[in-house]
Amino acid sequence: MIAPFYELGFIGEGASLAVAALIGIAFGWVLEQSGMGSANKLAGQFYFRDLTVFKVMFTAILTAMLGIFWLGWLGFVDVSRIYVPETFLLPQLAGGIVFGAGFAVAGLCPGTSCVSAATGRLDGVAVMGGMFAGVLATGFLFDRISAFYSSTARGPLTLPDLLGVPYGVVVSGIVLIALGSFRLSEALERRSALVR
Amino acid sequence: VTAPKYLAAAALALGALATIAGSPRVHQNARLDVSRLAQVVEREEDHVTALELAAWIRDQRDDVRIIDVRDSADFEAYHIPKAERIALDELVSTPFRASETIVLYSDGGAHAAQAWVFLRALGYEKVYFLRGGLYEWLDDVMNPSIAADASDSAKAEFERVSEVSRYFGGVPRTGDAASSLPSLPVPAARESGSTKAAVARVRGRGC
């Protein structure tokens, strides 16, 4: 049995949803445990006070990347069957700016807003409300924005294909970037603690 | 303090080894449970008939993807409604959803049956091929015929087939009408190994 289990038909839709629910609960649990339900903590990264979000997210990327590479190498995962989201250059650039602005203003991103709301924080509830309002508005206006939505399509891009560099070299490059940036972010945190 | 350092060292080591390990994709050879596939073939669960496929298309089953593995010239000349063309070499790198039912066809049945093995080896479960290929489609769906002296039950069955056939613009024939059409090109097409003549005949009807 090799992964991805749902894509390769080893598990059905029900089992897939059950696994998704378990992973979702675990994800929410870990986010809350690492303090990411608090907008104060999250906003700290924009002032280089507290780079926990950056470190947690980059650690997750690093762990998943190494896991997929080595499980694929050992034959437990069919890497070619993992879904790679397609790139739409301008719409995703616009979306990224809106997302980043919202993150800085609210101090929460979609996942952490759910965690924040689940622990009874009102700002989390407000962000979730805004998120659903935005989703609904996009749905109603979709006919008007659909041309932009699907413009500048680049298909599924991966760093090895884009850079023309072997997969393993990209993996080791990302590891070096991650470890370097962890060190840099801890230095920034120490400096801002001294300033205060 | 030491745990993060150990983890960093482990990441560094795994990253460094990755540069010399090569791509994970080369280890993704398809796997084949040959005895299981043999049972599927034995139980005749590997293929569909042209009439079954026609019923699926008529019922607008949106989970069914019909894949034509012939070349583009043949595809342009004629293809089964709703079919999409994917050449054999592209087929193996085309991602399908596990929930999709894939029906493969070629002129006869050989290429589609080979494609069936490839997709089963890649782990897709709901894969079928059109047993007699496009020939069977042209014979059974586009040009069904029945002898005038057929039994009543055969005639009742033929009426059901005719209904499906007419949906696709086919022309069901009964009795002498069928045999009085010596130019019906399907047997000739089988011998020459090409569907072109049969296709020309079907297209000539303007459907």
Structure confidence at residue A1 as a pLDDT band (50, 70, 90)? low
Tokens 């995962």, residue?
A77
User: Residue B31: is its pLDDT beyond 60?
Assistant: yes
Between CA A189 and CA A47 the distance in angstroms is 9
Determine how many CB atoms are found less than 10 A away from the CB of residue A25: 10
- Cα of B116 vs its chain's centroid, Å: 8
- List Cβ<8 Å contacts ≥24 apart for A113-118: A114/A28, A115/A28, A115/A31, A115/A32, A115/A36, A115/A37, A116/A37, A116/A38, A116/A39, A118/A28, A118/A32, A118/A37
Among B11, B97, B125, the residue with its CB nearest the CB of A179 is B11
Pairing between β-strand B47-48 and β-strand B64-68 as defined by DSSP bridges: unpaired
Decide if B15 and A81 are in contact by the 8 Å CB cutoff.
no
Structure confidence at residue B201 as a pLDDT band (50, 70, 90)? low
Q: Looking at residues B80-106, what average pLDDT do you find? A: 87
Structure confidence at residue B28 as a pLDDT band (50, 70, 90)? very low
Structure confidence at residue B4 as a pLDDT band (50, 70, 90)? confident
Structure confidence at residue B207 as a pLDDT band (50, 70, 90)? very low
- Which pLDDT tens digit goes with each residue over B110-134? 999 999 998 888 878 899 999 999 9
Alpha-carbon torsion B109, B112, B115, B119, what sign?
Answer: negative
Task: Please determine, for the modelled complex, whether the ipTM score is greater than 0.90.
Answer: no
Between CA B12 and CA B50 the distance in angstroms is 57
CA closest to A9 among chain B residues: B98
Decide if B25 and A167 are in contact by the 8 Å CB cutoff.
yes
Chain B residues inside the 8 Å CB shell of A2: 31, 123
Pair A166, A160: CB distance under 8 Å: yes
**Average model confidence (pLDDT) across chain B:** 81
- Chain A nearest-CA distance from B64, in A, is 16
- Which pLDDT tens digit goes with each residue over A74-109? 878 878 778 788 899 999 999 999 999 999 999 999
Element (H, E) at B161: helix B152-167
Percentage of chain B modeled with pLDDT above 70: 81
Between CA B51 and CA B130 the distance in angstroms is 10
Determine how many CB atoms are found less than 10 A away from the CB of residue A14: 8
- Which pLDDT tens digit goes with each residue over A45-74? 888 889 988 998 899 999 999 999 999 888
Alpha-carbon torsion A24, A30, A33, A39, what sign?
Answer: negative
Structure tokens at B151: 């039994």
Give me the pLDDT at residue B130, please. Answer: 94
For chain B, count helices (H), then strands (E).
Answer: 11, 7
Between CA B62 and CA A34 the distance in angstroms is 44
Give me the pLDDT at residue B17, please. Answer: 92
Lowest mean pLDDT among A23-27, B22-26, B95-99, B154-158: B22-26
Phi, psi for residue B93 in degrees, rounded to 5: -110, 10
Structure confidence at residue A113 as a pLDDT band (50, 70, 90)? very high
Interface test with B, best of A1, A6, A52, A66 (most B CBs within 10 A): A66
CA closest to A68 among chain B residues: B24
Pair B166, B150: CB distance under 8 Å: no
Structure tokens at A65: 């990347």
- Which pLDDT tens digit goes with each residue over A127-164? 999 999 999 999 999 999 999 988 998 888 889 888 98
Tell me the whole-structure pTM to 2 decimals: 0.59
Structure confidence at residue B198 as a pLDDT band (50, 70, 90)? low
Structure tokens at A179: 């470890």
Pair B141, B198: CB distance under 8 Å: no
Structure tokens at A159: 């760093």
User: Residue B200: is its pLDDT beyond 50?
Assistant: yes
Chain B residues inside the 8 Å CB shell of A77: 24
User: Residue B205: is its pLDDT beyond 80?
Assistant: no
